[in-house]
Amino acid sequence: MNLFYEDVVVGKTYTTGTHIISAQDIADFCRLTRDHHPLHTDDDYAKKAGFPGIIAHGLYGLSLMEGLKTELKLYEDTSIASLGWNDVRFKTHILAGDEVYVEMDFTSKRESSSRPAGIITEAVRLCRKDGTVLIDAEHISLIRKAG
């Protein structure tokens, strides 16, 4: 599927496949970002802080949201740019072993005033397999028009 601006239907919902968060995913994100806070690296520290064990970075979850959305291939040839993320909320912790997916729906669209493209807004949620929302955010993108 390859959506042009004209194909975007406000209110339409898409759901991605799932991904199981691993301890290695969390460790890799620590290494890549140089964020080695003990909540993400030390099980005992995380437990003393009130979590069941080490937790994933919220920004890892946000990055994973974009990656899972990309697997839908909605804008494979039509995406021009991500214009940003708004109202990002980390609702609850993400643990190694969590099976997650993304649910997104289009909330608005408008034509660009400066180029032959459209600006679309998505409500995006990272959810556990049981439906618990882990991260809630709004994403804005610039995509090509069909003409």
Distance CA 78, CA 74 (A): 8
Closest C-alpha among 142, 139, 110 to residue 123: 139
Mean pLDDT of 31-50: 95
pLDDT at 1: 74
Query: CB-based contacts of 50: which residues, under 8 Å, 6+ apart?
Result: none
pLDDT in tens, 1-21: 789 999 999 999 999 999 999
Cβ atoms of residues 120 and 109 within 8 Å: yes
| Token output for 26 | 């969390």
Query: Does the pLDDT value for residue 142 go beyond 90?
Result: yes
pLDDT grade for 133, boundaries at 50, 70 and 90: very high
Average pLDDT, the chain: 96
Please state, for a pLDDT cut of 90, what percent of the chain lies above it: 96
- Tell me the β-bridge partners of 135: 90, 126
Cβ atoms of residues 27 and 106 within 8 Å: no
pLDDT in tens, 73-118: 999 899 999 999 999 999 999 999 999 999 999 999 999 999 899 9
Please state, for a pLDDT cut of 70, what percent of the chain lies above it: 100
Rounded (10°) angle between helices 23-33 and 58-70: 110
pLDDT at 147: 76
Query: Does the pLDDT value for residue 55 go beyond 90?
Result: yes
Residue ranges of domains in the chain, CATH in brackets:
5-21+57-144 (3.10.129.10)
pLDDT at 45: 97
The predicted model scores a pTM of 0.93
